[in-house]
Amino acid sequence: MILIKDEIFLINNEGDLVKKVEQEYSAEEILQKLLSDYPNFIQGRQIDSEDPRRWLLG
């Protein structure tokens, strides 16, 4: 079975298009710190913009 990883594209400060490929985090601690520092990573508005989900990080 071949798994295809998702990709997103960003435009950097120089105006270049940069491809970012989905990858796993090497440690849960890194992921938890990123989510704590940048809670907008897990926005609930995409699910229900009138009543967005709320997340509790531990």
Condensed to tens digits (0 to 9), the pLDDT of residues 1-58 reads 677 778 889 999 999 999 998 877 788 888 888 888 887 777 666 666 677 666 666 5
Range 27-45 burial, b when 16+ CB lie within 10 A, else e = eeeeeeeeeeeeeeeeeee
Q: Show me where the domains of the chain are located.
A: 7-46
Handedness of CA 16, 21, 27, 28 (dihedral sign): positive
Give the max Cα distance, the chain: 39
Cut 0.75: pTM above it = no
Q: Which stretches within 1-58 are classed as H helix?
A: 28-37
